[in-house]
Structure 1
Amino acid sequence: MTAETSEPPAFLPGLELSRILYEEGVRPVLDAAHPGLAYAAARVGSGSEVLGFDTARSADHEWGPRLNLFLADADAAALGPAIRELLAERLPKHVRGWPTHFRSDAGNELDPVSGHMTATDGPVDHRVSVDGIGSWLRRQVGSPTAELGPLDWLAVPQQRLLEATAGAVFHDGPGTLTAARARLARYPDEVWRHLLACQWQRISQEEAFVGRCAEVGDDLGSAVVAARLVRDLMRLCLLIDRGYAPYGKWLGTAFARLPVAGRLTPVLRGALAATTYPDRESRLCEAYETVAALQNATGLTEPVDPSCRPYHSRPFRVLHADRFARALAATVTESALRDRPLTGSVDQWVDNTDHLTSSRLEVPE
């Protein structure tokens, strides 16, 4: 990839490219210029490669030999600019054929923010960030130590938690990053129970609307509600598995890796493809009962009957998912969560990609 028209080299997963950049490029420079420096080297944060979802298509912007360096906050402030400049001068121009220089497209009206790898004969405009670990964690999850209280957990989008806990750590001298990732690896038990209750509550609020829309001749509305329920069931399955759900682009990819996906995916596809209400209802009920059985298998509550039933006196079959919400909510003993309404976390009451990927975190009232 030595010219704009050259064929790109063979695709490597981005995490592997980051590891090679560290081991063959960054580490030798740091060892020579700053022997004994306490730092962590990782590939975390935004980017499909952090989640392990990157493909050859990812190479068209802000993908390539990238790395995150983390120092103590004081060291980052004192040494960060000099380290970035040092790496610009001494990093190899290519890693496994991929340029380490990224062209700025700030003046490109069609693509003003994306960086693209390109060859250079001068210093490389690299993608090795140098951050204070406390400052980065504060931006990422709202706490410089990654120690979150119950309400703090509700304020952090799951995408941000994934960015902090997925990816790979190649070196961690101080151990601070590794410890923070361990604290953020999954929801604490009480928060998990609360969020599960809230997710079942979301489903209970709309499960009867699929039939009601169809009853008044609004088949499009019925299908739209069914699609919302399918998404909520997918997110619920990830939560039951104690995983975090990524934002919309990667939700299906993450769901497909769950053990239940092989059995549930055809059912959910059937619900989305259904052209009549009876078929749509039948597929949704099969999905409800499958996920309800998963919930019972966690042992968090006494078993709740997972079978669908009529919606009061109306001719619609539903799960009455509120039964699971109530059972789970009854097991929450944490005072900050016990008496909260079942509206849940930011992901359960906000549906805006910019907000869910934002570093401006606020605890909900």
Structure 2
Amino acid sequence: MNKIEELTKQAHKLWKEGKEEQMLPYLREAINLCKQENNFSKQIEILNEYAGALRLYGHYDKAVESIDEALELIKLHYDTNNIQYATTLMNKANIYREKKDYFTAEKLMLQSKEIFDKKGDKSYSYIGLLNNLSLTYQEIKDYKRAEQLQLEAISLLQGNAQYNVPLAISYNNLYEIQKKLNKHTNAEENLIKAKDLLSKEVGENHPLYSAVLNNLAELQVKNKNYHKALELYKNALEIVKSCYGTQSDAYLSVKSNYEYVNDLILTLEPDKIENLKIDKNYSTPSKTEKLLDKSRKFSKQVEKLIYEYFPNLKNRICLALVGSGSECLYFDDELSKDHDYDLRCQLFLTDEDYISYSQNLEHIFSQYLENKVIIQTISNFYIYYTSYKNGPSTIEEYRNIPDEYLCSATNGEVFVDNLGEFSKIRQKILNYYPQDLIYKKLAYHLNNIAQSGQYNYPRLLKRNDKIACSLALSEYIKHYMQVVHILNKKYMPFYKWSFKNLKNLEILGEYTSKKLNELISSPDIEKENIIDQMCKKLVSQLNEEHFTTGKIDFLTYQANEITQNIQDENLRKEDNWIK
């Protein structure tokens, strides 16, 4: 046996013991020896293993470097249309999956799958790809596709003893998927199969074995077998502690589960659980009741459950209905009910509380509230709508965010916020743009009103270019509504609700709504006069609000005057046709 084989053998031994981090020095040395010997095939193989070990410990950038090195070697010395290249692509995809870049992960895995499919390859590597692609779809909540891939993997694995470990992993993964699809039949049977296979193949001190124990415990909690669940969590905790230590995410997650069940046994005996009264009269809202009103009532039930089962969370929760959807603007009607209109309430937690409690909260919500509670972290909500976990602060940060996203981040209603963190960020955004940016945006939109409505529209009308007239009119309306929203220090919502939202605006809201209806319904020959009236009204309002003093009603003059109010020299000197 040569030196490279000795090193990889020792690394594999450590992997079987669940000590992946200790593999790294052995694999690094093996890679260097391969380079010295120009053993490209072995180097590619070990680079893949090395990247996998790095991935497990969160060293994603180094893992990608290792995989890219392997891919380059394949391109230089072999054909890229082969299984080795497909497998390496899959390994790279897994790094991005761990980084939570699911778009890149899916793209790479589908490229890999295309090669496997062309080759008609149904080998172990292909099965691994099915498992990993299934996990990716789980992460993006496409559970149907995830289940389809997992079932295909299981069908290929069954009956082949050398694939017992991946078969066990597939059974365990299938439980996670079907749980989300509310398919609980055979769930325990599949987990026991996974447990027995792993016990035989890798032993009962391996992280994979602990993962199955954790899921078995979860199932026992659902079935109210709390003492059995506690014992399973205890065993899983000891394994994770031995493999990863007490500071690892895996250990903290299982520890949270264990403590939750222990508290449940001590404080919430089964008869108490059965007797907890929850009002389930929260069906689809009536024709006259808005979903936000119904959700506000529903949040009381959510609050009651949390206070009963999770007293430590009492002062840390935020319940709300905010984000996208007509219901969050209070604009929902009968037409709204044909899509994405389920009664719901959002529970916002800190990152730490989410890690500690989310899984256990889901248990309780699924039991009593039919999974109508969406559990999110505060940071992820604001990252989604603003790109910043604490919301935007600087002018440049605000400039990067579309108005409708800021509107979605601040609409709806916060029903209760005992911690106050969610509302603190919300209020900061509601305080509106920095003053210099208000000037900048006003100037930009005023210029566009002048260009589209005061200049281009009458010229296009003379040319009898009806399509271009419609486009100019559309631009005029859009920018006029933007100015009215800015004057009210309100973020304009998604375009289909921007006109309806005018009724909520004190400054020029009612006037603009009336004049725009008049503008749209009037003959073309009268539209120019209505535009002139509206622009004069805007100048008057800008004077009244002390944005300008000039009386010229061609709005580029107003835009230029407003620009001079900007305190930031660089922003002031920037072209005021730039948003």
- CA offsets per residue over residues 41-74 of structure 1, 9 Å max, x none? 1111112111111123322222242111111112
Deviation at 1:210, TM superposition (A): 1.1
Work out which structure has the larger RCO, using CA pairs closer than 8 Å and 6 or more positions apart in sequence: 1
Aligned to 2:293: 16
Deviation at 1:160, TM superposition (A): 1.4
Alpha carbons 2:285, 2:291 under 8 Å: kept: no
**In 1: Cα distance, 2:476 partner to 2:578 partner:** 17
Alpha carbons 2:348, 2:376 under 8 Å: kept: yes
**SS of equivalent residue, structure 2 residue 499:** helix
Deviation at 1:22, TM superposition (A): 1.1
Mapping of residues 151-300 of structure 1, within 5 Å: 151-185=396-430, 186-206=432-452, 207-259=454-506, 260-277=508-525, 279-300=526-547
Alpha carbons 1:267, 1:286 under 8 Å: kept: no
Aligned to 1:359: none
**SS of equivalent residue, structure 1 residue 131:** strand
Pair 1:7–1:21, CA change in 2 (3 A): closer
**SS of equivalent residue, structure 1 residue 156:** coil
- CA offsets per residue over residues 298-324 of structure 1, 9 Å max, x none? 1123x1215xxxxxxxxxxxx421111
Alpha carbons 1:193, 1:328 under 8 Å: kept: yes
Q: TM-score normalised to the size of structure 2?
A: 0.48
**In 2: Cα distance, 1:163 partner to 1:82 partner:** 29
Gaps of 5+ in 1: 92-123, 307-318, 346-365
Gaps of 5+ in 2: 1-279
Greater mean deviation of Cα atoms: 74-83 or 7-16: 7-16
Aligned to 1:110: none
Alpha carbons 1:201, 1:325 under 8 Å: kept: yes
Deviation at 1:344, TM superposition (A): 4.6
Aligned to 2:119: none
Q: TM-score normalised to the size of structure 1?
A: 0.74
Alpha carbons 1:51, 1:162 under 8 Å: kept: no
Deviation at 1:282, TM superposition (A): 0.7
**In 2: Cα distance, 1:141 partner to 1:291 partner:** 30
- CA offsets per residue over residues 216-241 of structure 1, 9 Å max, x none? 23244224312321222122111111
Aligned to 2:304: 28
- Alignment-mate amino acid for residue 354 of structure 2: A
Deviation at 1:336, TM superposition (A): 5.4
Pair 1:331–1:8, CA change in 2 (3 A): closer
Pair 1:82–1:336, CA change in 2 (3 A): farther
Deviation at 1:157, TM superposition (A): 1.4
- CA offsets per residue over residues 148-204 of structure 1, 9 Å max, x none? 210110111111111121211111121101111110001121211111111112122
**In 2: Cα distance, 1:7 partner to 1:67 partner:** 14
**SS of equivalent residue, structure 1 residue 77:** helix
Pair 1:61–1:297, CA change in 2 (3 A): same
**In 2: Cα distance, 1:131 partner to 1:7 partner:** 23
- 2:391 paired with 1:146: yes
Pair 1:10–1:204, CA change in 2 (3 A): closer
- Alignment-mate amino acid for residue 534 of structure 2: A
Pair 1:183–1:232, CA change in 2 (3 A): same
Kindly, what percent of the aligned residue pairs are identical? 21
Deviation at 1:9, TM superposition (A): 4.0
Alpha carbons 1:65, 1:127 under 8 Å: kept: yes
**SS of equivalent residue, structure 1 residue 180:** helix
Aligned to 2:7: none
Alpha carbons 2:386, 2:392 under 8 Å: kept: no
Alignment length (residue pairs): 293
Deviation at 1:215, TM superposition (A): 2.2
Pair 1:246–1:198, CA change in 2 (3 A): same
Q: 2:559 aligns with which of 322, 325, 337?
A: 325
- Alignment-mate amino acid for residue 419 of structure 2: P
Alpha carbons 2:320, 2:414 under 8 Å: kept: yes
**In 2: Cα distance, 1:131 partner to 1:90 partner:** 19
Deviation at 1:337, TM superposition (A): 2.5
Aligned to 2:340: 62
Alpha carbons 1:51, 1:167 under 8 Å: kept: yes
**In 1: Cα distance, 2:326 partner to 2:305 partner:** 27
Alpha carbons 2:317, 2:349 under 8 Å: kept: yes
**In 1: Cα distance, 2:520 partner to 2:296 partner:** 40
Alpha carbons 2:447, 2:555 under 8 Å: kept: yes
Deviation at 1:127, TM superposition (A): 3.4
Aligned to 2:322: 44
Pair 1:174–1:281, CA change in 2 (3 A): same
Pair 1:244–1:8, CA change in 2 (3 A): closer
**SS of equivalent residue, structure 2 residue 405:** helix
- Alignment-mate amino acid for residue 28 of structure 1: K
**In 1: Cα distance, 2:364 partner to 2:543 partner:** 56
Alpha carbons 1:204, 1:321 under 8 Å: kept: yes
Greater mean deviation of Cα atoms: 80-89 or 213-222: 213-222
Aligned to 1:79: 357
Alpha carbons 1:133, 1:177 under 8 Å: kept: yes
- CA offsets per residue over residues 332-358 of structure 1, 9 Å max, x none? 11245223332454xxxxxxxxxxxxx
